[in-house]
Amino acid sequence: MRSVILAIATSFLSGIIAPAVRAGTIAADRVSPGSEARLQLLLLTAALVAGCALLLALTGTIVSLRRRYAEAHRTNQRLSESNARLAAALRARSELLATSSHEIRTPLNGILGMTQVMLADHRIGAEVKERIEILHGAGETMRALVDEILDRARIENGSPEIGLAPFDPAHLIDEAVRFWRTPAETKGLGYAIDVAPLPACLLGDEARLRQILFNLLSNAVKYTPTGSVGLSARMEEDRLVIVVTDTGIGIPVDEQAAIFERFHRVGGEPAREIGGTGLGLAICRQLATAMGGSISVQSTEGRGSAFRIDMPMRTMEAPIETDMRIAAKGTPDTGAEASGVLVVGLNPLVQRIIAKALEDQGMTVRFVDSAEAACACIAGGGIGRVLFHADPFLEDPDPLIAIGQVTACARAAGLFLMLLYTPSSGLTAEDLAALDVGALVAKPVAVKDIVARLGLKFREPA
């Protein structure tokens, strides 16, 4: 910039001085020698004055430009700092939400687990049991809301938890259908189900697919005053396609894209009338995308909507039990003399719930926190079954060593071992297959299902 301005100034001054000198030379031919010298001096003085004025003007322009550049630089720097602070604040908020939601969910799971145990106790009267059922239902609703907030925080941090585990798609769909049948029929709605034959076992994130499916069915029932709700499911090559339909209020064309944005509600309905957090569809789409699938909608205002889940799924040859999300390779010997159950890696709150549930079945329960203690307990005898919670061991540098150590000890002693794990924990399908355990149980799972898979049944406590 400086060189350009100097070049312009030099050219300008040359353009002033040279003509002036030439004019003075021409005039000198017509005047006396003394007059000629005075004329040239006058012309040179005028040229210098004009040049100085121009240089002053250019200097002022340069100073002004530098000031503006410096101000723009400071403004950009302030904006960058503000953006950095805003990003840090958003991250902190998301981390706080994630941490708080997780801390809330831990005791909440304890409440739900204990209410399950209480509901299985036949000594409790019908009136009290009804109150416990209300408490349990309210707890499930609260957990769903907490999970939505937790998922929102994880997604904003770019880390939605997606895992792979074998599951029975027909069982998942039947579970969702049965759950929402009563609310639909209570409103007087029809309930049409059309499920084509599905593979016995698929590999995917069943918990996330359940979350998406439950949300769509919930919305269908919620937004349909009269008419019917429907669900259809089929495989299209290597993709599971589920369509949830309703004859409800429908969605205006100009809102169909916005419904997948967080906190958006059709027609701007207030939360107190519709319920929920307004995060459901936003989370569903982001989870579906994270799993490599999609959710789309077709709707006519006043006539209803159809939401389509299109999810890639890998078919597995291994059979899977239909009463739980479990891939089983063995069955516990329910007639074994050893009535002890070894529980590895559960937190104290869950330990109390599991202990209560198993002791009500006449079992003795032992708790350990390490692989070494588990193997020592197995070697000591008196153990018939092992419940191994893998998640705490995943913080080790090589978690498969500790997990493999316990599974090897159980296998050598001829014990049935059930591995409890989170699908998004990082364990791959190959890792799980290599462990060669009696049963793989993906969380979340109900306490009664854990007890049932250990070869026991809830019965009236003595």
Domain match, 149 and 186 both = no
Q: Domain check: are 302 and 186 in the same one? A: yes
| Same domain, yes or no: 173 and 306 | yes
Q: What is the mean pLDDT of residues 269-296?
A: 71
pTM of the predicted structure, to 2 decimals: 0.55
Whether residue 208 is found in the same domain as residue 247 = yes
Q: Are residues 386 and 450 in the same domain?
A: yes
pLDDT the model gives residue 156:
65
What CATH number did the domain enclosing 354 receive? 3.40.50.2300
Among 208, 83, 216, 218, which Cα is nearest to 154's?
Answer: 208
Asked if residue 57 belongs to a domain, the reply is no
281 vs 295: CA distance, rounded Å: 9
**At which of 267, 298, 315 does a domain end?**
315
What pLDDT score was predicted for residue 459?
Answer: 44
Least confident window among 210-219, 240-249, 313-322, 423-432: 313-322
Higher-confidence residue of 294 and 263: namely: 294
> Do 183 and 210 fall within a single domain?
yes
CA distance 201 to 314: 9
- The two three-digit tokens of residue 452, written as one number: 């049932």
In this model, does residue 239 exceed pLDDT 50?
yes
> Domain total for the chain?
3
Residue 182's pLDDT band (cuts 50, 70, 90): confident
- Categorize the per-residue pLDDT at 433 as very low, low, confident or very high, splitting at 50, 70 and 90: low
In a domain, 428, yes or no: yes
Regarding predicted confidence, which is higher, 286 or 330?
286
Same domain for 374 and 266, yes or no, is no
Q: Encode pLDDT of 96-110 as tens digits.
A: 766 666 677 777 877
Q: What is the pLDDT of residues 332-386, one digit of tens each?
A: 444 444 678 999 988 787 888 888 888 877 888 899 988 899 999 999 888 888 9
pLDDT tens for 162-176 read 777 778 899 889 888
Residues 143 and 228 in one domain: no
Residue-wise pLDDT tens digits, 70-102: 888 888 888 888 888 887 777 777 667 666 666
Q: Domain of residue 105: give its range.
A: 94-156
* Domain-embedded: residue 302: yes
**Does 186 share its domain with 251?**
yes
310 and 174 both lie in a single domain: yes
Same domain, 261 and 284: yes
> Is 80 part of a structural domain of the chain?
no
* 38 is a domain residue: no
User: Which tokens go with 405?
Assistant: 């150590």
Same-domain pairing of 311 and 171: yes
